[in-house]
């Protein structure tokens, strides 16, 4: 049973918005594109575990992208599987090429088309998650479950060439995931808690999940002045559309739209912030009329604070449902 579905990372969504609102000549455009590719690849890899997990034939509870607070810090697990007998943490890597391990420096090494990339040992990473989870559960007075860990290589184009016995046991291709989990399950015949108690614990974990936000301007050399202004054409993507006769019109394909500006509000929310003024809207949409700006804001029924020229409108969007346009 899936208790918590996959969560599209805020970083991925905001980098998509940043890429479409920045010129390619921007000083950090290439860095943003590289980071965006990495986020997309990682998220795609995490989704690939769904099919092998769907074949599990014993009671279990799955939580994806679970982020918990421990003291002043947070730890996050790609996929957490809870049963009445044991728990399992999956760390998912979506790496192509030849994957080797250097035990001297505790590094995973990826070689693709002659290029080499090094990564911290994912086993150390997932073992640290295990220790943090144990501590977190102890504060909850939860039953002491044995906790297993696996690193799953989700890319079918990845070739594992690892000599370390420990890593061969715990770093596996996704094709072996179902079989490996069944092997782990067979080790634990004694229930530590009832299935109902495990279900309640899983839902408690979901309730304690903390969403991880991301701020583009704090992580890159980007200011509000760097963003391309205007309303995108929903048909051909041209920018900016012009406002004429109560509609937006594209100068390239000539399509007209009454609501093309809606995505502009969402871009602003992702890239600038959750509060917007009439003046900021005029600047971001490239319109001169204060009355038009006021009309567009009221049309969206945003909550507002303050009065007259100091009024701010509160933007509130859902990360799971409001940004599909960025993925087209």
Least Cα distance to 123 among 169, 77, 167 occurs for 167
Which of 173, 208, 243 terminates a domain? The answer is 208
Which of 177, 208, 239 terminates a domain? The answer is 208
pLDDT band with cut points at 50, 70 and 90 for residue 245: confident
The values of phi and psi at residue 274, to 5°, are -95, 5
Q: Is 314 helix (H, G, I), strand (E, B) or coil?
A: strand
Query: In the predicted model, is pLDDT for residue 309 greater than 80?
Result: no
- DSSP secondary structure, 54-66, as one string: HT--S--EEEEEE
pTM of the model: 0.92
Q: What is the pLDDT of residues 30-73, one digit of tens each?
A: 999 999 999 999 999 999 999 999 999 999 999 999 999 999 99
Check whether residue 168 and residue 265 sit in a common domain: no
What's the rounded Cα separation, in Å, for the pair 26 and 172? 40
Number of independent structural domains in the chain? 2
The reply to whether 223 falls in a domain is: no
Check whether residue 202 and residue 59 sit in a common domain: yes
What's the rounded Cα separation, in Å, for the pair 142 and 89? 17
The reply to whether 240 falls in a domain is: yes
- The boundaries of the domain holding residue 269 are 229-327
Which of 140, 173, 208 terminates a domain? The answer is 208
The reply to whether 44 falls in a domain is: yes
């Amino acid at each position: 049973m899936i208790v918590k579905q996959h969560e599209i990372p805020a970083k991925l969504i905001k980098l998509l918005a940043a890429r479409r609102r920045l010129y390619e000549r921007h000083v950090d455009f290439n860095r943003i594109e590289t980071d965006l590719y990495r986020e997309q690849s990682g998220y795609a890899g995490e989704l690939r575990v769904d099919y092998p997990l769907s074949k599990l034939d014993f009671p279990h509870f799955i939580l994806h992208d679970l982020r918990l607070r421990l003291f002043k810090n947070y730890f996050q697990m790609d996929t957490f599987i809870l049963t009445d007998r044991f728990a399992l943490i999956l760390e998912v890597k979506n790496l192509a090429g030849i994957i080797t391990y250097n035990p001297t420096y505790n590094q995973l090494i990826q070689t693709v088309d002659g290029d080499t990339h090094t990564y911290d040992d994912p086993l150390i990473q997932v073992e640290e998650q295990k220790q943090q989870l144990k501590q977190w559960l102890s504060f909850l007075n939860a039953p002491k479950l044995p906790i297993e860990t696996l690193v799953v290589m989700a890319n079918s184009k990845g070739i594992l060439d690892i000599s370390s016995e420990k890593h061969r046991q715990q770093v596996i291709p996704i094709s072996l995931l179902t079989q490996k989990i069944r092997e782990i399950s067979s080790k634990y015949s004694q229930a530590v808690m009832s299935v109902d108690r495990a279900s309640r614990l899983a839902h408690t974990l979901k309730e304690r999940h903390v969403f991880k936000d991301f701020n583009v301007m704090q992580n890159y050399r980007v200011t509000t002045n760097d963003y391309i202004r205007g309303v995108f054409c929903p048909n051909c993507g041209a920018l900016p559309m012009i406002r004429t006769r109560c509609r937006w019109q594209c100068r390239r394909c000539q399509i007209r739209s009454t609501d093309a500006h809606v995505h502009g509000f969402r871009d602003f929310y992702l890239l600038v912030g959750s509060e917007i003024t009439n003046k900021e809207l005029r600047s971001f949409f490239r319109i001169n009329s204060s009355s038009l700006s006021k009309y567009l804001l009221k049309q969206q029924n945003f909550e507002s604070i303050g009065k007259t020229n100091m009024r701010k409108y509160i933007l509130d969007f859902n990360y799971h449902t409001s940004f599909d346009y960025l993925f087209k």
